[in-house]
Structure formats: structure tokens, C-alpha cells
Amino acid sequence: MLTHTGHCLCGAATYTGMGDFIMQVCHCASCRRWTGSPAMTLTFAAGIDIKTPATIRWHRSSDWAERGSCTACGTTLFYRLVDGDYINVSAGSLDDQGAIRQIDEHVFIDEKPEHYDFSGNAPRVTGAEVVARFQPPGEPS
């Protein structure tokens, strides 16, 4: 399987992303507060193997998700859902930056502030559209 490794600023936290990945830019208020800017994240088809779980501190940022950062240097790394196995990682932490070819999607575009814009034609979807993807089929939202 295709894999990609990554690490935090100090090197204490490392991971392997498994399978192909897509890159999203999240414009939600929580991501901007957590990272200081829109969050560029990678979601791997077969998930992420966190090699150093003891060096990740998890912060519960909402009822449904938590965010993981390096305990030593504070690098913002992971976002995962509390239920299920969805997880993504900050794109800037990937070792092989050349492997990232494009922005595949902008999410929570309805929370994007006016003071910046991205170029390019990647799809822009709202927060409600993203949340709907995680609703079980047939379940009222």
C-alpha cells in the first residue's frame, strides 16, 4: 500500500498515512483559531497510523471531535471524530511535500472570513454539506 510519513516541528510526534489522500482546506472558525489560519488537511483512504501516541495531547473541541497536538512542541497535527474512525492530519506536517499536488476541496466555506481568498476552482462546500456526509443514511439530520 502507498504510504506517506510525517512529523511535527520537533520530531517527537510521527505518523504514517496509509493509501491515497485528498487535501482539503477548512475555513471553519475552530480550525482558524486552532491553527491561526485556514487548516490545510490530508485525509488518507486507509487512515493514519500514529507512531507516537504518547506524544499526542488530545483536546476535545466539540461534542463530536477532538484535535491532537504534539506534547513537546505544540504542533497542530490531527483532527478526529469521537465516533467512527475519521481522522485527518495537517498537510504541512507531511515529509514529502511534493506529493501534495492540489487542493481537492474547500470546506466550511460559509465560515470563511472576508479578509482572504484562495485562487483555483476546487469545489467549495458549506459546513452543513460536510456534516451531512457523516449522517447515517436514512437518519433525520
Question: Footprint of Zn ion on this chain (CB under 5 A)?
Answer: 8, 10, 12-13, 26, 28, 31, 70, 72-73
The rounded distance, in Å, linking the Cα atoms of 106 and 84 is 22
- Per DSSP, the three-state class of 26 is strand
Return the number of the residue (72 or 122) whose C-beta is nearest Zn ion.
72
Tell how many helices (H) and how many strands (E) occur in the chain: 2, 10
In the complex, what is the shortest distance from the CB of residue 1 to Zn ion, in angstroms, rounded to a whole number? 26
In the complex, what is the shortest distance from the CB of residue 89 to Zn ion, in angstroms, rounded to a whole number? 13
* Three cell numbers, residue 54: 504518547
Return the number of the residue (17 or 68) whose C-beta is nearest Zn ion.
68
Return the number of the residue (71 or 138) whose C-beta is nearest Zn ion.
71
In the complex, what is the shortest distance from the CB of residue 136 to Zn ion, in angstroms, rounded to a whole number? 22
The rounded distance, in Å, linking the Cα atoms of 94 and 25 is 15
Return the number of the residue (17 or 35) whose C-beta is nearest Zn ion.
35
Burial profile 77-87: b = 16 or more Cβ within 10 angstroms, e = fewer: bbbbeeeeeeb
Residue whose C-alpha is closest to residue 13's, from 49, 61, 65 = 49
In the complex, what is the shortest distance from the CB of residue 75 to Zn ion, in angstroms, rounded to a whole number? 5
